[in-house]
Structures are given as C-alpha cells and as structure tokens.
Chain A
Amino acid sequence: DAGVIQSPRHEVTEMGQEVTLRCKLISGHNSLFWYRQTMMRGLELLIYFNNNVPIDDSGMPEDRFSAKMPNASFSTLKIQPSEPRDSAVYFCAGGGTINSNQPQHFGDGTRLSIL
C-alpha cells in the first residue's frame, strides 16, 4: 500500500544483534499499528499509537522489544538483543482517528530472519 512504507523489506542478522524496523506513513493517518505474522500464531498486534502516543503495548513480547513514534508519520520497532524466535514478518499499519470510518492500511512488511 502506497500509504505505508516499511524498511528494510528483508533483514537477515545474527542473534544478539540489534534490529531496527522502520515505518513511514505517507497518507493521512492518526494511528499506527505494529503487527508480527508467523505461520504458527498468525497476525498478532504488538503495539499501537494514536496521535503519536502509545495506547496499548500489551502485545509486545518482552523487554527486548521497544517502539517509538517521534512524529506523526514515522515509527521504529527495535529488538535488542535479537533471538532466532523473533524471526517473522513484521507489518506496520496506519489507521484513522477515534470513531473515524478509515480502515487500517498495511505496508508490505519486513521479513526478519535471525540466525
């Protein structure tokens, strides 16, 4: 979706390394969601922001994961230190304001492999 740009598209790194995933919202969105997708667990919500403020981070698996949204159009998801079980596709999605009719639009994901 042209409205949500994720980078990098692919990341391969060794366990113990720091990984930073990036998400840029191109179109007008007021909320941002980070998801993780695996074959076993499907699509899981990690954290979401509304107007740059983290609203719910209960899906973040552990302290090794952190997310920031320094401005209205950009967010990072960081894993430090990374582990092989973190291997998955990570998606970012943009959404509208509270009670808007705007659905969530997903980026094309970052495919992360931790060796």
Chain B
Amino acid sequence: QKEVEQDPGPLSVPEGAIVSLNCTYSNSAFQYFMWYRQYSRKGPELLMYTYSSGNKEDGRFTAQVDKSSKYISLFIRDSQPSDSATYLCAMSAAYGGATNKLIFGTGTLLAVQP
C-alpha cells in the first residue's frame, strides 16, 4: 500500500462548478500537508500549505485536513478553465520546506470545460 493515495481522475467539470479533490494517507506522523498544481509540461507550484488538522482558505481555494481520518481535501469554488491542471497532494512528517521529505500523491487530472 502506498503511503499516500490519490484518485488519478481524470475529473471533468463544467465552468463554475465546485471541485473536490482528495487524498488519503497511512502515516500518522504526517503533520504538514500541501497541495501543488501542475500545468502541462511545467513544474509543480505550491498552491496551499496547512499544518495539522483544520481548514485554510485562500480565494477560491479551501484546504481541509482531517487527521483522525487521515484524509485531506482541496475545494475549488467557481472553477475556471484556467484551473485545468494536475493537482498533487504532498505531506511530510516534519517541516516540509527544507530538509524533510515530501511524499506526493500521484496527482488528479482536472479539466474545467468552458
């Protein structure tokens, strides 16, 4: 079993829809949770960063972490065609920015249809 599981999709939604992306994990030591967005032929870019359980909102994006269920989510409100990309969840057992390993999900391909 992989440490981080993510539905690969593809997920196709109409413009304006609410999108829900999810990951589950098995390592209870994970404390730091990230969502990266990756456009075709580009590197992943950090979208959201959360610590431990709870919610974090940034514009149309909301990240949720439920450590009791080992489940994280990313919600996108009023989705736009420009949101079409692969979304990768990532997590680490200590501060993930520098010297600690990030474990990535395999990514969910999202297509927002105009």
Which A residues have a C-beta under 8 Å from some C-beta of B? Answer: 1, 4, 30-31, 41-45, 48, 50, 55-56, 91, 93, 95-109, 111
Contacts and interface: CB of A to CB of B under 8 A. Distances in A.
A4 B106 CA distance: 22
Contacts of A55: 99
* Secondary structure dominating the interface of B: loop
Nearest to B46: A103
B60 interface: no
Closest 8 CB pairs of A and B: A106-B43, A42-B106, A43-B104, A96-B98, A95-B98, A103-B46, A31-B98, A108-B43
B99 A48 contact: yes
Contact of A42 (B34, B49, B99, B104): B104
Nearest to B90: A43
A43 B43 CA distance: 11
Contacts of B98: 30-31, 50, 95-100, 102
Contacts of A48: 99, 101
10 contacts: A1-B45, A42-B104, A45-B102, A96-B97, A98-B98, A103-B96, A103-B97, A104-B96, A108-B43, A109-B43
Contacts of A101: 97
Contacts of A43: 44, 88, 104, 106-107
A42 B107 contact: yes
A69 to B, nearest CB: 14
B9 to A, nearest CB: 13
Contacts of A31: 98-99
B61 interface: no
Interface in B58-114: 88, 95-99, 101-102, 104-107
A28 to B, nearest CB: 12
A45 B101 CA distance: 8
Nearest to B4: A42
Contact of B43 (A1, A41, A95): A1
A42 B88 CA distance: 9
A25 to B, nearest CB: 13
Contacts of B96: 103-104
A93 B104 CA distance: 14
